[in-house]
Amino acid sequence: MPCDFMRPLALNFGLAVALAAAYAAGLAGAPPQDESPTSQQQPGWNAIDRWNRMSPEERERELAKLPPERAQRIRQRLKWYNQLPPDQKEELRENYRRFAALPPEKQEIVRQRMREFRSLPRERRLAIRQEMQALRKLPEDARRVRIDSELFRSQFSPQEQQILRDITGYLAPQK
């Protein structure tokens, strides 16, 4: 089912953002010395993989610094992530790389759109996931045409249109 593909992506994006925020706050250990774009393109150089390389004791020490509900959500997301097949993990790593490469103001926009997305009713989230999946498959020019179409505007509210525009615009694979 097409929307099943986006559900893990959205959930794990939340994990990546949570872990990135933990690193930014000084939690979850120190990042690698070299954070250049070249190092971020090497497999394994992201917050999720760094977290997974920590010992269970180190993880628990870092999680203890977070509010209990947030720590529990991170534990659940890590468990889910670790059960994914390698190809899905790689796709999520790539999404994280694209997010991490954004300037801070654009990262904040993406975070805001994800919060808005999560606040929508379930049936609207499903419709947006399906559209997001379709948009991500398109080259940039075709994606822009689709987003500017009357059909697109008639199917999605202005808020939903902005969610789709920002998330697919900032995080779309480069084609």
Same domain, 168 and 118: yes
Same domain, 65 and 85: yes
Pairwise CA distance, residues 148 & 7, whole Å: 25
Q: What is the DSSP string of 79-146?
A: HHHHTS-HHHHHHHHHHHHHHHHS-HHHHHHHHHHHHHHHHS-HHHHHHHHHHHHHHHTS-HHHHHHH
Same domain, 65 and 110: no
CA-wise closest residue to 12 among 78, 66, 71: 78
Same domain, 79 and 113: no
Final residue in a domain of this structure, among 68, 101, 134? 101
List, for residues 76-113, the tens digit of each pLDDT value. Answer: 888 888 888 998 888 888 888 888 889 999 999 999 99
Same domain, 31 and 45: yes
The number of domains in the chain is 2
List, for residues 109-127, the tens digit of each pLDDT value. Answer: 999 999 999 999 999 999 9
Same domain, 76 and 111: no
The predicted pLDDT at position 4 comes to 42
Same domain, 14 and 67: yes
Residue range of the domain that includes 5: 1-101
Pairwise CA distance, residues 85 & 138, whole Å: 24
Same domain, 43 and 95: yes
